[in-house]
Structure 1
Amino acid sequence: MRLSIEVALEYTLREPADILLQIEAAQMADQRLEHQSLTIWSDHAVTATAGEDNIGQRCWVRADHALIARYEAIVAIDRPAVALRSLPATPVRMLAGPLVPYLLPSRYCESDKLEGFVRRTFGGLSGGALAAALVDWTADNLRYEAGSSVGMTTALDTFGMRTGVCRDYAHLLVALARAAEIPARCVAAYAPDVHPSDFHAVTELWLDGGWHLVDPTGMARAEEIARVCVGRDATDIAFMTVFGDAQLCRQSVRVARLDALA
Protein backbone atom coordinates (compact mmCIF):
# COMPACT_ATOMS: atom_id res chain seq x y z
CA MET A 1 0.00 0.00 0.00
CA ARG A 2 1.24 3.51 -0.87
CA LEU A 3 0.07 6.51 1.11
CA SER A 4 0.12 10.19 0.23
CA ILE A 5 0.58 12.46 3.27
CA GLU A 6 0.10 16.23 3.41
CA VAL A 7 0.44 18.28 6.60
CA ALA A 8 0.12 22.03 7.16
CA LEU A 9 0.80 23.74 10.49
CA GLU A 10 0.36 27.42 11.35
CA TYR A 11 0.76 28.71 14.90
CA THR A 12 1.41 32.17 16.34
CA LEU A 13 3.68 32.79 19.32
CA ARG A 14 3.47 35.49 21.96
CA GLU A 15 7.24 35.48 22.27
CA PRO A 16 10.14 33.54 20.68
CA ALA A 17 10.24 29.85 21.60
CA ASP A 18 11.97 26.58 20.83
CA ILE A 19 9.73 23.93 19.26
CA LEU A 20 10.27 20.20 18.86
CA LEU A 21 8.47 18.75 15.82
CA GLN A 22 7.82 15.07 15.07
CA ILE A 23 5.81 14.96 11.85
CA GLU A 24 8.03 13.09 9.39
CA ALA A 25 7.19 9.47 8.55
CA ALA A 26 9.96 7.12 9.67
CA GLN A 27 12.11 5.14 7.25
CA MET A 28 11.83 1.50 8.39
CA ALA A 29 12.07 -2.02 7.04
CA ASP A 30 8.31 -2.29 6.57
CA GLN A 31 7.70 1.26 5.33
CA ARG A 32 9.77 3.02 2.70
CA LEU A 33 9.86 6.73 1.97
CA GLU A 34 9.52 7.22 -1.78
CA HIS A 35 9.37 10.99 -1.39
CA GLN A 36 9.26 13.50 1.43
CA SER A 37 9.60 17.24 1.81
CA LEU A 38 9.57 19.25 5.03
CA THR A 39 9.51 23.05 4.73
CA ILE A 40 9.73 25.24 7.82
CA TRP A 41 9.68 29.02 7.62
CA SER A 42 12.20 30.29 10.16
CA ASP A 43 15.08 32.76 10.35
CA HIS A 44 17.00 30.20 12.41
CA ALA A 45 18.69 26.92 11.51
CA VAL A 46 16.61 23.78 11.88
CA THR A 47 18.39 20.79 13.41
CA ALA A 48 17.38 17.13 13.48
CA THR A 49 17.84 14.53 16.20
CA ALA A 50 16.89 10.87 16.40
CA GLY A 51 13.55 9.79 17.82
CA GLU A 52 13.01 7.25 20.59
CA ASP A 53 14.51 3.83 19.80
CA ASN A 54 16.13 5.53 16.77
CA ILE A 55 12.78 5.44 14.98
CA GLY A 56 12.06 8.58 12.99
CA GLN A 57 13.51 11.96 13.81
CA ARG A 58 12.66 15.11 15.70
CA CYS A 59 13.39 18.62 14.43
CA TRP A 60 14.35 21.54 16.64
CA VAL A 61 12.88 24.82 15.40
CA ARG A 62 13.38 28.31 16.77
CA ALA A 63 10.34 30.45 16.02
CA ASP A 64 10.15 34.18 16.72
CA HIS A 65 6.55 35.15 15.98
CA ALA A 66 5.01 32.19 14.18
CA LEU A 67 5.53 28.57 13.20
CA ILE A 68 4.62 27.71 9.62
CA ALA A 69 5.47 24.22 8.40
CA ARG A 70 4.51 22.04 5.46
CA TYR A 71 5.20 18.34 5.12
CA GLU A 72 4.55 16.07 2.14
CA ALA A 73 5.44 12.42 1.71
CA ILE A 74 4.70 9.27 -0.21
CA VAL A 75 5.19 6.14 1.89
CA ALA A 76 5.18 2.58 0.56
CA ILE A 77 4.07 0.13 3.24
CA ASP A 78 4.92 -3.55 2.95
CA ARG A 79 3.62 -5.07 6.17
CA PRO A 80 1.63 -8.31 6.12
CA ALA A 81 -1.32 -8.82 8.41
CA VAL A 82 -0.50 -10.93 11.47
CA ALA A 83 -2.90 -13.18 13.37
CA LEU A 84 -2.26 -11.72 16.83
CA ARG A 85 -4.05 -14.52 18.69
CA SER A 86 -1.66 -17.15 17.38
CA LEU A 87 1.51 -15.55 18.78
CA PRO A 88 3.17 -17.12 21.84
CA ALA A 89 3.97 -15.35 25.08
CA THR A 90 7.48 -14.23 26.02
CA PRO A 91 8.38 -14.51 29.73
CA VAL A 92 9.48 -11.11 31.04
CA ARG A 93 12.80 -12.54 32.21
CA MET A 94 13.62 -13.24 28.55
CA LEU A 95 13.15 -9.64 27.44
CA ALA A 96 16.15 -7.58 26.34
CA GLY A 97 17.08 -4.40 28.21
CA PRO A 98 15.62 -1.90 25.70
CA LEU A 99 12.19 -3.52 26.15
CA VAL A 100 12.06 -3.09 29.92
CA PRO A 101 10.81 0.56 29.89
CA TYR A 102 7.80 -0.64 27.90
CA LEU A 103 6.82 -2.97 30.76
CA LEU A 104 6.80 -0.21 33.38
CA PRO A 105 4.27 2.48 34.31
CA SER A 106 4.79 5.88 32.70
CA ARG A 107 3.33 9.34 33.09
CA TYR A 108 0.12 8.68 31.14
CA CYS A 109 -0.01 4.88 31.38
CA GLU A 110 -0.42 3.84 35.04
CA SER A 111 -0.23 0.12 34.37
CA ASP A 112 0.48 -0.73 38.02
CA LYS A 113 -3.02 0.46 38.96
CA LEU A 114 -4.68 -1.86 36.42
CA GLU A 115 -2.93 -5.12 37.34
CA GLY A 116 -5.78 -6.35 39.54
CA PHE A 117 -8.37 -5.66 36.83
CA VAL A 118 -6.30 -7.51 34.23
CA ARG A 119 -5.82 -10.55 36.49
CA ARG A 120 -9.54 -10.74 37.32
CA THR A 121 -10.81 -10.14 33.80
CA PHE A 122 -8.27 -11.95 31.63
CA GLY A 123 -6.96 -14.69 33.91
CA GLY A 124 -6.02 -17.87 32.07
CA LEU A 125 -5.03 -16.07 28.85
CA SER A 126 -1.46 -15.46 27.71
CA GLY A 127 0.54 -14.31 24.71
CA GLY A 128 -1.34 -13.31 21.59
CA ALA A 129 -4.66 -14.56 22.92
CA LEU A 130 -4.32 -12.20 25.89
CA ALA A 131 -3.16 -9.32 23.67
CA ALA A 132 -6.12 -9.77 21.31
CA ALA A 133 -8.51 -9.87 24.26
CA LEU A 134 -7.08 -6.57 25.56
CA VAL A 135 -7.46 -4.97 22.12
CA ASP A 136 -11.06 -6.17 21.87
CA TRP A 137 -11.91 -5.01 25.39
CA THR A 138 -10.54 -1.52 24.71
CA ALA A 139 -12.42 -1.24 21.42
CA ASP A 140 -15.67 -2.55 22.90
CA ASN A 141 -15.67 -0.55 26.12
CA LEU A 142 -14.60 2.91 24.97
CA ARG A 143 -16.65 5.42 22.98
CA TYR A 144 -14.77 7.69 20.56
CA GLU A 145 -15.78 11.25 21.37
CA ALA A 146 -13.89 14.33 20.16
CA GLY A 147 -13.20 16.80 22.95
CA SER A 148 -13.87 14.28 25.71
CA SER A 149 -10.31 14.43 27.03
CA VAL A 150 -7.55 16.98 27.58
CA GLY A 151 -3.78 16.92 27.36
CA MET A 152 -3.42 15.68 30.95
CA THR A 153 -5.91 12.79 30.64
CA THR A 154 -4.29 9.50 31.64
CA ALA A 155 -5.08 5.86 30.93
CA LEU A 156 -6.67 5.55 34.37
CA ASP A 157 -8.90 8.57 33.66
CA THR A 158 -9.97 6.99 30.38
CA PHE A 159 -10.61 3.67 32.10
CA GLY A 160 -13.05 5.45 34.39
CA MET A 161 -14.71 7.74 31.82
CA ARG A 162 -14.91 5.11 29.03
CA THR A 163 -14.63 7.86 26.39
CA GLY A 164 -11.71 9.39 24.54
CA VAL A 165 -9.87 10.02 21.30
CA CYS A 166 -7.13 7.97 19.64
CA ARG A 167 -4.45 9.01 22.13
CA ASP A 168 -6.67 7.84 25.01
CA TYR A 169 -7.39 4.49 23.34
CA ALA A 170 -3.65 4.00 22.79
CA HIS A 171 -2.78 4.95 26.38
CA LEU A 172 -5.33 2.59 27.86
CA LEU A 173 -4.34 -0.36 25.69
CA VAL A 174 -0.66 0.25 26.50
CA ALA A 175 -1.42 0.37 30.23
CA LEU A 176 -3.51 -2.80 30.10
CA ALA A 177 -0.83 -4.65 28.11
CA ARG A 178 1.94 -3.64 30.50
CA ALA A 179 -0.24 -4.73 33.41
CA ALA A 180 -0.49 -8.09 31.62
CA GLU A 181 3.34 -8.29 31.29
CA ILE A 182 3.28 -7.57 27.54
CA PRO A 183 5.68 -4.79 26.49
CA ALA A 184 3.70 -2.00 24.83
CA ARG A 185 4.51 1.37 23.36
CA CYS A 186 2.58 4.28 21.85
CA VAL A 187 3.03 5.10 18.18
CA ALA A 188 2.39 8.38 16.38
CA ALA A 189 1.23 7.54 12.89
CA TYR A 190 -0.51 8.49 9.68
CA ALA A 191 -3.35 6.39 8.31
CA PRO A 192 -6.25 6.75 5.87
CA ASP A 193 -9.86 6.57 7.10
CA VAL A 194 -9.07 8.42 10.33
CA HIS A 195 -12.01 10.68 11.17
CA PRO A 196 -11.62 13.49 11.76
CA SER A 197 -8.43 13.48 9.67
CA ASP A 198 -5.55 14.25 12.00
CA PHE A 199 -2.34 12.94 13.49
CA HIS A 200 -3.17 9.45 14.74
CA ALA A 201 -2.04 7.46 17.78
CA VAL A 202 -1.94 3.67 17.84
CA THR A 203 -0.19 0.94 19.83
CA GLU A 204 2.56 -1.61 19.31
CA LEU A 205 2.68 -4.82 21.35
CA TRP A 206 5.79 -6.99 21.70
CA LEU A 207 4.99 -10.63 20.97
CA ASP A 208 7.01 -13.52 19.57
CA GLY A 209 10.18 -11.49 19.20
CA GLY A 210 8.75 -8.47 17.39
CA TRP A 211 6.55 -5.38 17.56
CA HIS A 212 3.01 -5.65 16.19
CA LEU A 213 0.87 -2.63 15.30
CA VAL A 214 -2.73 -2.47 16.47
CA ASP A 215 -5.27 0.35 16.37
CA PRO A 216 -7.74 -0.04 19.25
CA THR A 217 -10.04 2.60 17.71
CA GLY A 218 -10.56 0.26 14.75
CA MET A 219 -10.06 3.08 12.25
CA ALA A 220 -6.77 1.85 10.77
CA ARG A 221 -5.41 -1.52 9.72
CA ALA A 222 -1.80 -2.42 10.54
CA GLU A 223 -1.06 -2.85 6.83
CA GLU A 224 -1.99 0.82 6.20
CA ILE A 225 -0.28 2.59 9.10
CA ALA A 226 2.81 4.75 8.55
CA ARG A 227 4.76 5.22 11.78
CA VAL A 228 6.17 8.62 12.68
CA CYS A 229 7.74 7.81 16.05
CA VAL A 230 7.33 5.62 19.13
CA GLY A 231 7.60 6.07 22.87
CA ARG A 232 6.37 5.28 26.35
CA ASP A 233 3.32 7.54 26.01
CA ALA A 234 2.21 10.88 24.56
CA THR A 235 5.17 12.61 26.20
CA ASP A 236 7.48 10.92 23.70
CA ILE A 237 5.31 10.94 20.58
CA ALA A 238 3.72 14.42 20.56
CA PHE A 239 3.80 15.88 17.04
CA MET A 240 4.73 19.28 18.51
CA THR A 241 6.19 20.26 21.87
CA VAL A 242 6.44 24.01 22.45
CA PHE A 243 8.83 25.37 25.06
CA GLY A 244 6.73 28.50 25.38
CA ASP A 245 3.21 29.54 24.38
CA ALA A 246 1.70 28.96 20.93
CA GLN A 247 -1.78 29.58 19.55
CA LEU A 248 -3.30 27.48 16.76
CA CYS A 249 -4.19 29.31 13.55
CA ARG A 250 -4.55 26.41 11.12
CA GLN A 251 -3.73 22.73 11.08
CA SER A 252 -4.56 20.10 8.50
CA VAL A 253 -3.56 16.46 7.95
CA ARG A 254 -4.54 14.60 4.77
CA VAL A 255 -3.73 10.94 4.20
CA ALA A 256 -4.88 9.10 1.10
CA ARG A 257 -4.28 5.70 -0.49
CA LEU A 258 -2.46 5.83 -3.82
CA ASP A 259 -2.44 2.16 -4.76
CA ALA A 260 -1.68 -1.29 -3.40
CA LEU A 261 1.79 -2.82 -3.58
CA ALA A 262 2.07 -5.65 -6.12
Structure 2
Amino acid sequence: MPIAIETQFAFELPSPTDALLQFEAARIPEQTILETDTQVTPSEHVARVPAQENIGERLLVRAEGALEVSYSARVDIARAVSDLARHGAIPPHEIPGEAVEYLFDSRYCPADDFQSFAEAEFGGTSGGARIAAISDWIADHFSYVPGSSTTETGAVDSFVARQGICRDYAHVLIALARASAIPARYVACYAPGVDPPDFHAVAEVFLADPAKSAGGVWQLVDATRMACPSETVKIGVGRDAADVSFLTTFGPSTFRSSCVRVTKE
Protein backbone atom coordinates (compact mmCIF):
# COMPACT_ATOMS: atom_id res chain seq x y z
CA MET A 1 0.00 0.00 0.00
CA PRO A 2 1.75 3.21 -1.16
CA ILE A 3 2.07 6.16 1.19
CA ALA A 4 1.45 9.59 -0.37
CA ILE A 5 3.37 12.58 1.01
CA GLU A 6 2.86 16.30 0.41
CA THR A 7 5.07 18.82 2.22
CA GLN A 8 5.51 22.56 2.00
CA PHE A 9 7.52 24.83 4.26
CA ALA A 10 8.91 28.34 4.01
CA PHE A 11 11.49 30.43 5.85
CA GLU A 12 13.37 33.67 5.37
CA LEU A 13 17.09 34.48 5.50
CA PRO A 14 17.84 38.18 6.09
CA SER A 15 21.31 37.91 4.55
CA PRO A 16 23.21 35.34 2.46
CA THR A 17 23.14 32.24 4.68
CA ASP A 18 23.85 28.53 4.38
CA ALA A 19 21.07 26.11 5.27
CA LEU A 20 20.92 22.33 5.52
CA LEU A 21 17.59 20.69 4.64
CA GLN A 22 16.51 17.08 5.12
CA PHE A 23 12.90 16.34 4.21
CA GLU A 24 12.84 13.80 1.37
CA ALA A 25 12.00 10.12 1.82
CA ALA A 26 15.20 8.06 1.85
CA ARG A 27 15.98 5.66 -0.98
CA ILE A 28 16.74 2.50 0.98
CA PRO A 29 15.95 -1.21 0.44
CA GLU A 30 13.00 -1.24 2.85
CA GLN A 31 11.13 1.51 0.98
CA THR A 32 10.79 2.22 -2.74
CA ILE A 33 10.22 5.72 -4.08
CA LEU A 34 7.55 5.34 -6.77
CA GLU A 35 7.23 9.04 -7.58
CA THR A 36 8.93 12.15 -6.26
CA ASP A 37 9.09 15.86 -6.96
CA THR A 38 11.11 18.52 -5.11
CA GLN A 39 10.82 22.23 -5.77
CA VAL A 40 13.07 24.77 -4.02
CA THR A 41 13.16 28.52 -4.60
CA PRO A 42 16.08 29.28 -6.96
CA SER A 43 19.11 30.00 -4.80
CA GLU A 44 22.76 30.98 -5.10
CA HIS A 45 23.81 27.40 -4.40
CA VAL A 46 22.02 24.05 -4.04
CA ALA A 47 23.86 20.73 -3.65
CA ARG A 48 22.97 17.24 -2.48
CA VAL A 49 25.09 15.60 0.22
CA PRO A 50 24.75 12.15 1.85
CA ALA A 51 22.95 12.06 5.18
CA GLN A 52 23.88 10.10 8.32
CA GLU A 53 24.52 6.37 7.68
CA ASN A 54 23.90 7.13 3.98
CA ILE A 55 20.18 6.95 4.78
CA GLY A 56 18.66 9.75 2.73
CA GLU A 57 20.21 12.94 1.45
CA ARG A 58 20.47 16.53 2.62
CA LEU A 59 20.19 19.65 0.50
CA LEU A 60 22.90 22.21 1.22
CA VAL A 61 21.56 25.60 0.20
CA ARG A 62 22.98 29.11 0.21
CA ALA A 63 20.32 31.75 -0.20
CA GLU A 64 18.98 35.13 0.85
CA GLY A 65 15.40 36.26 1.33
CA ALA A 66 12.31 34.11 1.17
CA LEU A 67 12.89 30.41 0.51
CA GLU A 68 10.07 27.98 -0.14
CA VAL A 69 10.20 24.20 -0.39
CA SER A 70 7.55 21.97 -1.94
CA TYR A 71 7.89 18.19 -1.91
CA SER A 72 5.64 15.32 -2.93
CA ALA A 73 6.25 11.58 -3.14
CA ARG A 74 4.62 8.18 -3.29
CA VAL A 75 6.47 5.50 -1.36
CA ASP A 76 5.95 1.73 -1.20
CA ILE A 77 7.15 0.15 2.05
CA ALA A 78 8.45 -3.43 2.32
CA ARG A 79 9.77 -3.41 5.87
CA ALA A 80 10.01 -6.57 7.96
CA VAL A 81 8.06 -5.92 11.17
CA SER A 82 7.85 -8.36 14.04
CA ASP A 83 6.78 -8.49 17.68
CA LEU A 84 9.44 -6.83 19.85
CA ALA A 85 9.14 -9.64 22.39
CA ARG A 86 10.66 -12.05 19.84
CA HIS A 87 13.92 -10.09 19.81
CA GLY A 88 16.53 -10.78 22.45
CA ALA A 89 19.29 -8.51 23.65
CA ILE A 90 22.75 -8.48 22.12
CA PRO A 91 25.60 -8.38 24.68
CA PRO A 92 27.55 -5.13 24.21
CA HIS A 93 30.73 -6.98 23.24
CA GLU A 94 28.86 -8.61 20.33
CA ILE A 95 27.27 -5.44 18.96
CA PRO A 96 28.64 -4.65 15.46
CA GLY A 97 30.75 -1.54 15.12
CA GLU A 98 28.21 0.45 13.12
CA ALA A 99 25.69 0.20 15.97
CA VAL A 100 28.09 0.89 18.85
CA GLU A 101 27.90 4.69 18.48
CA TYR A 102 24.21 4.50 19.35
CA LEU A 103 25.06 3.32 22.86
CA PHE A 104 26.68 6.64 23.73
CA ASP A 105 25.20 9.78 25.24
CA SER A 106 24.28 12.50 22.77
CA ARG A 107 23.14 16.12 22.94
CA TYR A 108 19.49 15.41 23.76
CA CYS A 109 19.84 11.90 25.16
CA PRO A 110 22.11 11.70 28.24
CA ALA A 111 21.64 7.98 28.82
CA ASP A 112 23.91 7.90 31.88
CA ASP A 113 21.36 10.00 33.78
CA PHE A 114 18.74 7.26 33.29
CA GLN A 115 20.64 4.13 34.31
CA SER A 116 19.35 3.94 37.87
CA PHE A 117 15.75 4.53 36.82
CA ALA A 118 15.94 2.03 33.95
CA GLU A 119 17.14 -0.73 36.25
CA ALA A 120 14.66 0.11 39.02
CA GLU A 121 11.65 0.35 36.70
CA PHE A 122 12.47 -2.25 34.04
CA GLY A 123 14.80 -4.67 35.85
CA GLY A 124 14.01 -8.28 35.06
CA THR A 125 13.37 -7.50 31.38
CA SER A 126 15.84 -7.46 28.51
CA GLY A 127 16.04 -7.00 24.77
CA GLY A 128 12.78 -6.41 22.95
CA ALA A 129 10.74 -7.09 26.08
CA ARG A 130 12.50 -4.20 27.83
CA ILE A 131 11.95 -1.89 24.85
CA ALA A 132 8.25 -2.80 24.82
CA ALA A 133 8.06 -2.07 28.56
CA ILE A 134 9.83 1.27 28.11
CA SER A 135 7.52 2.26 25.26
CA ASP A 136 4.44 1.31 27.25
CA TRP A 137 5.69 3.25 30.30
CA ILE A 138 6.24 6.41 28.23
CA ALA A 139 2.83 6.08 26.55
CA ASP A 140 1.13 5.63 29.92
CA HIS A 141 2.93 8.40 31.80
CA PHE A 142 3.39 11.15 29.18
CA SER A 143 0.91 13.61 27.67
CA TYR A 144 1.27 14.64 24.03
CA VAL A 145 1.13 18.45 24.20
CA PRO A 146 2.01 20.45 21.05
CA GLY A 147 4.06 23.52 21.91
CA SER A 148 5.18 22.16 25.28
CA SER A 149 8.85 21.85 24.29
CA THR A 150 11.45 23.78 22.33
CA THR A 151 14.58 22.98 20.33
CA GLU A 152 16.49 23.11 23.62
CA THR A 153 14.36 20.47 25.39
CA GLY A 154 16.23 17.24 26.10
CA ALA A 155 15.22 13.83 27.42
CA VAL A 156 15.76 14.82 31.07
CA ASP A 157 13.51 17.88 30.69
CA SER A 158 10.79 15.77 29.07
CA PHE A 159 11.13 13.04 31.69
CA VAL A 160 10.60 15.58 34.47
CA ALA A 161 7.71 17.37 32.72
CA ARG A 162 6.03 14.10 31.63
CA GLN A 163 4.90 15.77 28.43
CA GLY A 164 6.13 16.69 24.99
CA ILE A 165 5.76 16.00 21.28
CA CYS A 166 7.06 13.16 19.13
CA ARG A 167 10.72 14.23 19.28
CA ASP A 168 10.53 14.27 23.09
CA TYR A 169 8.91 10.83 23.28
CA ALA A 170 11.64 9.51 20.97
CA HIS A 171 14.44 11.13 22.99
CA VAL A 172 13.23 9.61 26.26
CA LEU A 173 12.87 6.14 24.72
CA ILE A 174 16.33 6.40 23.16
CA ALA A 175 17.90 7.50 26.45
CA LEU A 176 16.25 4.66 28.40
CA ALA A 177 17.24 2.11 25.74
CA ARG A 178 20.88 3.23 25.78
CA ALA A 179 20.80 3.19 29.58
CA SER A 180 19.82 -0.47 29.17
CA ALA A 181 22.83 -1.15 26.86
CA ILE A 182 20.58 -1.34 23.78
CA PRO A 183 21.68 0.74 20.77
CA ALA A 184 18.99 3.27 19.87
CA ARG A 185 18.79 6.02 17.29
CA TYR A 186 16.44 8.81 16.27
CA VAL A 187 14.41 8.47 13.05
CA ALA A 188 12.89 11.43 11.25
CA CYS A 189 9.95 10.18 9.25
CA TYR A 190 6.55 10.61 7.68
CA ALA A 191 3.58 8.55 8.83
CA PRO A 192 -0.18 8.58 8.27
CA GLY A 193 -2.26 9.03 11.40
CA VAL A 194 0.00 11.62 13.04
CA ASP A 195 -2.17 14.20 14.81
CA PRO A 196 -1.63 17.07 14.28
CA PRO A 197 -0.13 16.27 10.83
CA ASP A 198 3.55 17.17 10.80
CA PHE A 199 7.05 15.81 10.38
CA HIS A 200 7.23 12.87 12.78
CA ALA A 201 9.94 11.25 14.88
CA VAL A 202 10.28 7.74 16.29
CA ALA A 203 13.04 5.64 17.80
CA GLU A 204 14.81 2.66 16.27
CA VAL A 205 16.52 0.03 18.42
CA PHE A 206 19.10 -2.62 17.55
CA LEU A 207 18.13 -6.09 18.79
CA ALA A 208 18.98 -9.72 18.11
CA ASP A 209 17.49 -11.10 14.91
CA PRO A 210 15.48 -14.23 15.75
CA ALA A 211 15.99 -15.46 12.17
CA LYS A 212 19.79 -15.48 12.47
CA SER A 213 22.29 -16.96 14.87
CA ALA A 214 24.41 -13.80 14.90
CA GLY A 215 24.06 -10.10 14.19
CA GLY A 216 21.03 -7.97 14.77
CA VAL A 217 18.26 -5.92 13.22
CA TRP A 218 16.91 -2.40 13.63
CA GLN A 219 13.29 -2.16 14.78
CA LEU A 220 11.14 0.98 14.75
CA VAL A 221 9.32 1.94 17.97
CA ASP A 222 6.89 4.83 18.41
CA ALA A 223 6.00 5.59 22.03
CA THR A 224 3.33 8.07 20.87
CA ARG A 225 1.52 5.07 19.33
CA MET A 226 0.58 7.18 16.31
CA ALA A 227 2.86 5.62 13.67
CA CYS A 228 2.77 2.02 12.52
CA PRO A 229 6.24 0.68 11.57
CA SER A 230 4.86 -0.91 8.40
CA GLU A 231 3.52 2.49 7.26
CA THR A 232 6.40 4.72 8.38
CA VAL A 233 8.52 6.41 5.69
CA LYS A 234 12.06 7.12 6.83
CA ILE A 235 13.66 10.47 6.04
CA GLY A 236 16.89 9.94 7.94
CA VAL A 237 18.49 8.70 11.16
CA GLY A 238 20.86 10.11 13.76
CA ARG A 239 21.92 10.10 17.38
CA ASP A 240 19.07 12.48 18.21
CA ALA A 241 17.08 15.34 16.65
CA ALA A 242 20.20 17.46 16.16
CA ASP A 243 21.39 15.07 13.43
CA VAL A 244 18.20 14.98 11.36
CA SER A 245 16.42 18.30 11.66
CA PHE A 246 14.46 19.11 8.50
CA LEU A 247 15.94 22.63 8.67
CA THR A 248 19.30 23.77 10.06
CA THR A 249 20.51 27.28 9.27
CA PHE A 250 24.02 28.58 9.85
CA GLY A 251 22.92 32.11 10.60
CA PRO A 252 19.78 34.10 11.46
CA SER A 253 16.50 32.88 9.95
CA THR A 254 12.76 33.27 10.44
CA PHE A 255 10.52 30.25 10.00
CA ARG A 256 7.30 31.22 8.19
CA SER A 257 5.10 28.18 7.68
CA SER A 258 4.86 24.44 7.18
CA CYS A 259 2.23 21.98 6.03
CA VAL A 260 2.56 18.19 5.95
CA ARG A 261 0.00 15.73 4.61
CA VAL A 262 0.56 11.96 4.68
CA THR A 263 -2.09 9.48 3.52
CA LYS A 264 -2.47 5.80 2.64
CA GLU A 265 -3.56 5.15 -0.93
Tell me if TM exceeds 0.5. yes
Q: CA RMSD in A?
A: 0.9
State yes or no: 1:40 paired with 2:47: no
User: Are the aligned partners of 1:42 and 1:62 in contact in 2 as well (CA < 8 Å)?
Assistant: no
Match of 1:213 among 200, 205, 220: 220
Deviations 1:166-187 (A, max 9, x none): 0000000000000001100000
Pairing of 1:6-17 with structure 2 (within 5 A): 6-17=6-17
- 2-structure distance, mates of 1:123, 1:24: 39
Among all aligned residue pairs of Structure 1 and Structure 2, give the percentage whose two residues are the same amino acid.
45
1:44, distance to aligned residue in structure 2 (A)? 2.0
Amino acid at match of 1:240: L
Could you tell me how far 1:43 is from its partner in structure 2?
3.1
The number of equivalent residue pairs is 258
Structure 1 residue 155 and structure 2 residue 162: aligned? no
Structure 2 equivalent of residue 107 of structure 1:
107
Amino acid at match of 2:174: V
Are the aligned partners of 2:45 and 2:63 in contact in 1 as well (CA < 8 Å)? no
Q: Which residue of 1 aligns with 2:203?
A: 203
1:101 Cα offset (Å): 1.2
Q: TM-score, normalised by structure 1?
A: 0.96
Alpha-carbon distance in structure 2 between the residues aligned to 1:7 and 1:19: 18
Query: Which amino acid in 2 is paired with 1:189?
Result: C
* CA–CA distance in structure 2, aligned partners of residues 234 and 218 of structure 1: 19
* Alignment-derived partner of residue 59 in structure 2: 59
Alpha-carbon distance between aligned partners in 2 of 1:239 and 1:10, rounded to the nearest angstrom? 12
Note if 1:227 corresponds to 2:234.
Answer: yes
Alignment of 1:18-97 (within 5 A): 18-97=18-97
Equivalent residue number for residue 249 of structure 1 = 256
Letter in 1 for 2:126: S
Cα distance in structure 2, aligned partners of 1:244 and 1:132: 40
Q: Which runs of 4+ in 1 moved over 6 A?
A: none
Residue 15 of structure 1: how far off its partner (Å): 1.4
2:137 aligns with 137
1 CA distance for matches of 2:219 and 2:6? 26
Residue ranges of structure 2 left out of the alignment (5+ in a row): 209-215
Q: Is the contact between residue 12 and residue 255 of structure 2 (CA under 8 Å) also seen in structure 1?
A: yes
> 2 CA distance for matches of 1:175 and 1:80?
25
In structure 1, stretches of 5+ residues that fail to align are none
- Residues 154, 168 of structure 1: 8 Å contact kept: yes
Say if 1:185 and 1:203, in contact at 8 Å, map to a contact too.
Answer: yes
Is the 1:187–1:204 Cα contact (8 Å) retained in structure 2? yes
| Residue 238, structure 1, aligned to residue 245, structure 2 | yes
